[in-house]
Structure 1
Amino acid sequence: MDSYPTEIATDQIRLLTKVARMYHERGMRQPQIAQQLHISQPRVSRLLKRAVELGIVRTTVIAPRGVHAELEEQIEQAYGLTEVIVADTDDHADETQVMRALGAAAAVYLETTLMGGERIGVSSWSSTILATVEAMHPRPTPVADQVVQMIGGVGNVTAQTQATRITGRLAALTGAQAVYLPAPGLLASADMRQMFISDPNIEPVLRACDDLTMALVGIGSIEPSPLLRESGNAVAESELPALRSAGAVGDVCIRFFDSSGRHIDSELDDRVLGIAADTLRAIPRRVAVAGGTRKSTAIRAALSGGWVNVLITDLQVARGLIVRS
């Protein structure tokens, strides 16, 4: 049985309990309680606060079905993340179903947290980011200033349309200016990249990447996604063995990292036309929308390496992040 400080009289405990029951169980408003008990409303407020302090009132949050608050908090603490959102997915969901669930969860997150003045960098070749913008609703007032392509968005025609849609639609939905990077994301040589960098249409876009407040990215496994492969911006099959030998398990914005999340500095970096690894990791809010068991290792590594600090993922991947953390 609970005990209370001896200096509190029994009649005081009785009043505290009575007020607490009237407010929390019977749903009465504080003015009603004050009127019925013939005490002031400020006193009712003080009594309710005291009831909490003494443990007479204890608040319990019960997560509804499909909400995984405890799991999200465990991942946040394990990897030092600002926020984790776990989309409720079935154990047997295929990649398309997972992507849809991730897109819907990410859309709600963005609609809730974009408050105005943001400069958002987006990954050009991410299927999950495309699913996100497809699921979003337009905001009644502008909530961002710019949406910037962080990787070159020029590629094979069909895929390029999708990359352009990511940037253009997100800008339209948030009332922002769309800033496109009109060049391939991965070039044939470092010399070709240098030529593009000197182009007056390219340099201002890369400079805009230095001042982003938020990044919205996917996380890639060592095997490129269908969208990236179709774009013509994927690493060639012949180059994958060297990446694997260097320990690469995944990438963010075509910047590869090993299983500990350490950036793999290779000649490939000199051919990427887009945001630099250090610049990316310095952005205050770095949101990854990524899931599917195929990407589990890459997602874990990206979290360990600090590539992102907000994760939106599916239930199966989330459970795995805790099991092996």
Structure 2
Amino acid sequence: MNSRATLHAVAKLHYEGEMSQVDIAKRLGVSTATISRLLQRARAEGIVRIEIRDLAAPDALTSDLIGKLGLKRAAVVEAPSAGILPALADPLGAMLAQAGLHAGSVLAIGWGRAVRAVVEAGLPAIPGVFVVPATGGMQQHQPHFQVNEFVRLAAEQTGGVPHFVHAPYLPSLSSRDAFLADPVIADSTALWDRIDAAVVGVGLPHGANTPDASAATPSEQALVDAAGDVIRHYFDAAGRLIDWEGEDRMIAASPEQLRRAPLVIGVAVGENKAEAIVGAARAGLISAVVTDTRTAEAILDRA
């Protein structure tokens, strides 16, 4: 019970698994006092290091993100982890308000948990803006994949005009041309050529994600060198795009269309997403970021 392997296992359960000492004791069939002593030993032997991090001002982090990642804009918020995603809505809204969007401008919307949270929390009024999905839909029931619903809600909040894409993001090669030939779908996807601003998520490598979070195909799961993705355009940590068998048949705004857009805002939180956010910026798939202080510090550590 006192081996380093045991100390390591108990420490992981408590500090990473966030299990209480009582629950760990029940699982291992020992007393709570024993677990307390093991945790003390884990700290004494250097298995666990407790670090008090210096607080970095959000304004300073914002400036550093812009400088190190070559971004056009950034916003960093400090908020409790439980409510961090909705807290991104205000700085995102301010960024969109400063972008000069107006009636006839094109606002593209991606998918993901962070995108869902900021759209549901509210966007600023931009009467007459055209709101379009940045990608086709996915045959998934999870709420963070419902991109047409995000477009409907964003258009309702902004006073804009929704343009839906009723097509899958990854059709078969034989059916892709048929989808794109539909006049309604063609009118919507044509807006990708003149995106003025976009709000997108930054995805984790699928090996680091739960199946329900990514809903990746086997080909996507096999991309072992991917640092992350933006609307299923994959890149490595250096920002190099990674080709995969679905890239040529996706119905989504292309990397070139995203790079031409004046403003593409990546909304993402989580220290585990730092490398993906850095890669997305280096790939030119995002030109702005909205995140929290802990994620910003992790990004700067990797950049």
Structure 1 vs Structure 2: percent identity of aligned residues?
Answer: 27
Give the TM-score normalised by structure 2.
Answer: 0.73
Count of matched residue pairs: 248
How far is the alpha carbon of 1:283 from its aligned partner?
A: 0.7
Candidates 245, 270, 276, aligned match of 2:248: 270
Q: Distance in 2 between matches of 1:228 and 1:276?
A: 25
Which residue identity does 1:170 align to in structure 2?
A
Alpha-carbon spacing, 1:163–1:324, altered in 2? closer, same or farther (3 Å): closer
Q: Distance in 1 between matches of 2:145 and 2:242?
A: 30
Q: Counterparts in 2 of 1:225-264, with a 5 A limit?
A: 229=212, 234-236=215-217, 238-244=218-224, 247-264=225-242
Which residue identity does 1:122 align to in structure 2?
I
How far is the alpha carbon of 1:137 from its aligned partner?
A: 5.5
Contact 1:103–1:128, Cα closer than 8 Å, also in 2? no
How far is the alpha carbon of 1:321 from its aligned partner?
A: 2.0
How far is the alpha carbon of 1:172 from its aligned partner?
A: 1.5
Which residue identity does 2:201 align to in structure 1?
G
Candidates 158, 168, 171, aligned match of 2:155: 171
Give the TM-score normalised by structure 1.
Answer: 0.68
Contact 1:153–1:180, Cα closer than 8 Å, also in 2? no
Q: Distance in 1 between matches of 2:129 and 2:65?
A: 31
Q: Is it true that 1:185 corresponds to 2:169 in the alignment?
A: yes
Q: Distance in 1 between matches of 2:207 and 2:153?
A: 24
How far is the alpha carbon of 1:128 from its aligned partner?
A: 1.0
Candidates 96, 101, 105, aligned match of 1:110: 96
Alpha-carbon spacing, 1:241–1:130, altered in 2? closer, same or farther (3 Å): closer
Q: Counterparts in 2 of 1:81-160, with a 5 A limit?
A: 81-90=71-80, 93=81, 96-111=82-97, 113=99, 115-117=101-103, 118-123=105-110, 125-136=111-122, 139=125, 142=127, 144-153=128-137, 155-157=139-141, 159=143
Q: Distance in 2 between matches of 1:223 and 1:300?
A: 17
How far is the alpha carbon of 1:164 from its aligned partner?
A: 2.8
Contact 2:62–2:75, Cα closer than 8 Å, also in 1? yes
Cα shift readout 1:160-195 (whole Å, capped 9, x = no counterpart):
8843331011111212110000011122x3222233
Cα shift readout 1:182-219 (whole Å, capped 9, x = no counterpart):
011122x3222233222223222111110111111111
Which residue identity does 1:191 align to in structure 2?
S
Q: Distance in 1 between matches of 2:148 and 2:238?
A: 32
Candidates 172, 178, 189, aligned match of 1:195: 178
Alpha-carbon spacing, 1:284–1:228, altered in 2? closer, same or farther (3 Å): farther
How far is the alpha carbon of 1:262 from its aligned partner?
A: 1.3
What's 2:62 paired with? 72
Tell me, what secondary structure is at the counterpart of 1:216? strand
Task: Give the greater-gyration-radius structure (CA).
Answer: 1
Cα shift readout 1:86-138 (whole Å, capped 9, x = no counterpart):
01135xx3xx5332332343234335555524311111x22211111222256
Candidates 286, 291, 294, aligned match of 2:269: 291
Q: Distance in 2 between matches of 1:282 and 1:301?
A: 18
How far is the alpha carbon of 1:322 from its aligned partner?
A: 1.9
Q: Distance in 1 between matches of 2:188 and 2:134?
A: 8
Q: Distance in 2 between matches of 1:278 and 1:259?
A: 19
